[in-house]
Amino acid sequence: METITIRNAESESADNALASIENINQALTDTLSDSRGIIGEICRNLLKAGGKRIRPLLTIHSGLIFGGPTRDLLDAALAMELVHMASLIHDDIIDESSLRRNQPSVNRLWGNQAAVLGGDYLFAKAFSVLAEKNLIFNLNLTVQAIQAMCEGEINQAAEKFKLDLTKEEYVERIVQKTAVLLQCSCKSGAFIGAATQTQIEQIGGYGLNLGIAFQIVDDILDFLGDSAVMGKPKHEDLTQGNLTLPAFLLLEHPQHGPWFKDLIGRKRFSMEELAQVDKILAGTGMIQKSFAIANSYIEKAKQCLAGLPDNSERATLMEMADKLKKRTC
């Protein structure tokens, strides 16, 4: 397995460099440098838009808990981000979104046909990265994650404006759509770091619970966030009929629930009605309750790290979980 040496640095400095967003972005650029034509334009547009690179960072830190910085670890991280980039393109097509990170979406710039194929191209790139290095365990994990993501998207599309959807079904949906890829990211890194099967499952639990919390917070910000900061319109989930945790809590409210149920049943919302929803959610404490539920998953995630090697990488994963509590965009 090729070990990465960065500027003849000591081990910890090399680890830090491997896990830097700048290093991940450069590796992505290198990986996509052979893309040509419209596909090349799409890839360059996505790279220019940037991102938090949460999934590759999770892969790298999960691997560094157990082993050193290697090219295989970076490649596994790249695959996770390529899958994520592909899923965002397909999400925007399904949701008919015209904005992503405050920039025109791929489907808006090049149309749905090119966008679908662009997303497929990135999936293929991810598979190629893993297959070329014979990372079969990671490839299998990634395939399973993509299958779950597709199932989650199909289920969500079938459940639009569904008033009898339960909170448990909602959580299962966000496990499939979001959390499973974070789980896959953590497991992929841990495997390359030579973790035991028990340790791989433990750190996978961290990624799964972190992913659930991440999506719940994202769903809260659909009501609470600033569109200019989020890079997408507010109330996008609600207006498209995708009921999320704050909506479920509002439906259960004895006073406001019937009004909200009728509003959803009409499948259209005025700006005044959306503003009233925001006011009720804030005034009844439902936003705070939603954050509390998200925080409970963050704590579960942190508990999954107990018993793993007590080093700076585990501390970093703890910090990533704690930072999610402060997320406002």
The enclosing domain of 99 has a CATH number of: 1.10.600.10
pLDDT in tens, 143-199: 999 999 999 999 999 999 999 989 899 999 999 999 999 999 999 999 999 999 999
> For residue 2, is it within any domain?
no
| Tens digits of residue pLDDT in 266-301 | 999 999 999 999 999 999 999 999 999 999 999 999
Residue 308 lies in a domain: yes
| Token reading at 112 | 């749905």
What is d(CA 66, CA 207) in angstroms, rounded to the nearest whole number? 16
Please give the residue range of the domain that contains residue 228: 12-320
Q: What CA–CA distance (Å, rounded) separates 119 from 125?
A: 10
Specify which residues 103 forms β-bridges with.
100
Both tokens assigned to 36: 């040509």
Q: What local confidence, expressed as pLDDT, does residue 12 receive?
A: 54
Please report whether residue 258 resides in a domain: yes
Q: Taking the model in full, what pTM does it have? A: 0.92
What's the CA gap between 86 and 82, in Å, rounded? 6
In order of 3, 162, 171, 283, 301, the CA distances from 208 in angstroms are 29, 25, 11, 31, 8
Q: Is residue 301 part of a domain?
A: yes
Query: For 5-49, what is each residue's pLDDT tens digit?
Result: 333 333 455 667 788 899 999 999 999 999 999 999 999 999 999
Give the chain's mean pLDDT. 92
Q: Rounded to an integer, what distance in angstroms lies between the CA atom of residue 6 and that of residue 4?
A: 6
Query: What tokens were used for 191?
Result: 């495997």
Q: Are 244 and 222 in contact (CB under 8 A)?
A: yes
pLDDT digits (tens, 9 = 90+) for 79-105: 999 999 999 999 999 988 888 887 899
So what's the pLDDT on residue 283?
95
- What whole-number distance in Å separates Cα of residue 237 and Cα of residue 257? 18
Question: Residue 95's pLDDT is what?
Answer: 86
In a domain, 4, yes or no: no
Structural tokens at position 15: 């680890």
The total domain count for the chain is: 1
Cβ-contact 59, 311 below 8 angstroms? no
**Cα–Cα distance for residue pair 80/18, rounded to 1 Å:** 15
Is 149 in contact with 215 (CB distance < 8 Å)?
A: no
- Domain annotation covers residue 7: no
- Please report whether residue 168 resides in a domain: yes
Asked, for residue 145, whether it belongs to a domain, the answer is yes
- CA separation for the pair 140, 247 (Å, rounded): 35
Could you read off the pLDDT of 98-149 as tens digits, one per residue? 888 878 999 999 999 999 999 999 999 999 999 999 999 999 999 999 999 9
